[in-house]
Amino acid sequence: MRMSQSPLPHPLCGIVPPMITPLRDRDALDGGGLEKVIEHILAGGVSGLFILGTTGEGPSLGYRLRREMVQQTCRLVKGRVPVLVGITDTAFVESIAIARCAAEAGADAVVLAPPYYVPEGQPELREYLEHLLPEMPLPLFLYNMPPLTKVSYELETVRWALQQPRIIGMKDSSGNLAYFNALLELRRERPDWTLLIGPEEMLAQALLLGGDGGVNGGANVFPRLYVALCAAAEAGDLPRVRELHGCVMQVSRRLYTVGRHPSATIKGIKCALSCLGVAGDFMAEPFHRFREHERKSVHAAIEELRELLGPLAAV
């Protein structure tokens, strides 16, 4: 039943950055910034773009803005890479609406975390998916993000999902590599399924044991680094994997610890892109751009990371 015309490789391998949403104001997309950030990322050799995810501040954006983001991104990408659109929502009909908007705009797939207000049990989650799937105009990736949604796609539910032709893969941001490894075992039954990992601190290890790629926030800033790490892992070049993994750990250590709250990662990424002149760092409520002293820390980090990364940091 999967659409044979889909440009999506099965599985989808490589880096699919969870792209930020450049904003001019609370409810206004920064169109120029969007174009620049897309070109910045695509120049790094990524395999796709995932928009309106956690890093893309999807849930914090109004629906009008989300639709504009979908349409502008698809228009600017022009089919050069697949575009995946986050449709996670507490309201079923709004998820469907964004999915339709994505299909009309020419996106390639949609990405769904469990609805995240009142936590549903696994039978409820499965029934929800059963009702949602027939309404989906595009193939679906599951997005496992229990720290934010409270509910996980437990293995019994993934086992069921592996039998649904319209569900074509999963992004796991649980931070639980034992769970990710269990997913890898399960998907042996369906090798066309895509398994991508969220936390970049585990990217190297996920790739070495069979993961297809990563949806890593840092790839907004230094896409070449993450793409190179994927290539090294695919080539089985362990020394190079270790070296590049060390670089990723430095990005994480330097860029994501400037702020103190869980939003520190997104703030760090947006601030870094602003320091690089790619896009502004305006953030959707309830978050706000770094203050001056934090920005200085990010600036210093960027300088050191560029030195460390050399050509892999080329903008």
Q: Which residues are at the interface with its own copies (CB under 8 A)?
A: 26-27, 54, 59-63, 65, 90-94, 97, 114-121, 124-125, 127-128, 131-132, 148, 150, 175-178, 181-182, 185, 199, 201-202, 204-206, 208-210, 236, 238, 241-242, 245-246, 249, 252-253, 260-263, 266, 284-288
> Is 171 a catalytic site residue?
yes
Instruction: Tell me the C-alpha distance between 94 and 73, whole Å.
Output: 20
- Using CB atoms within 10 A of its CB, is residue 123 exposed (0-12), middle (13-18) or buried (19+)? exposed
In whole angstroms, how close is the CB of 213 to its own copies at the nearest point?
Answer: 16
Strand partners, 15: 214
In whole angstroms, how close is the CB of 11 to its own copies at the nearest point?
Answer: 17
Instruction: Kindly give, in sequence order, each residue whose CB lies less than 8 Å from that of residue 251, ignoring residues fewer than 6 positions away.
Output: 200, 218, 221, 222, 225, 305
User: Is the separation of the CB atoms in 97 and 63 below 8 Å?
Assistant: yes
User: Is the separation of the CB atoms in 111 and 80 below 8 Å?
Assistant: no
Q: Which residue's CB is nearer to its own copies, number 139 or number 199?
A: 199
Instruction: Tell me the C-alpha distance between 123 and 160, whole Å.
Output: 11
In whole angstroms, how close is the CB of 62 to its own copies at the nearest point?
Answer: 4
Q: Spot the catalytic one: 36, 143, 256, 270.
A: 143
Nearest to 128 by CA among 112, 150, 144: 112
Q: In what order do the strands lie in the sheet with 49-51?
A: 14-15, 213-214, 194-197, 167-172, 140-144, 109-112, 83-86, 49-51
Q: Which residue's CB is nearer to its own copies, number 27 or number 39?
A: 27
Q: Spot the catalytic one: 36, 153, 171, 226.
A: 171
Q: Which residue's CB is nearer to its own copies, number 35 or number 120?
A: 120
> Is 179 a catalytic site residue?
no
- Structure-block tokens of residue 263: 């939003």
Q: Which residue's CB is nearer to its own copies, number 35 or number 124?
A: 124
In whole angstroms, how close is the CB of 79 to its own copies at the nearest point?
Answer: 29
In whole angstroms, how close is the CB of 7 to its own copies at the nearest point?
Answer: 30
Q: Which residue's CB is nearer to its own copies, number 192 or number 243?
A: 243
- Rounded to 5 degrees, φ, ψ at 287 are -110, 165
In whole angstroms, how close is the CB of 283 to its own copies at the nearest point?
Answer: 10
Q: Which residue's CB is nearer to its own copies, number 45 or number 100?
A: 100
Instruction: Tell me the C-alpha distance between 254 and 258, whole Å.
Output: 7
Burial 5-35 (b: 16+ CB within 10 A, else e): eeebebbbbbbbbbbbbbbeeeeebbeebbb
Read off the amino acid at residue 196.
Answer: L
CA 96 to each of CA 100, 214, 262, 309: distance values in angstroms, whole numbers, following the listed order: 6, 26, 29, 42
Please identify every residue annotated as catalytic. 143, 171
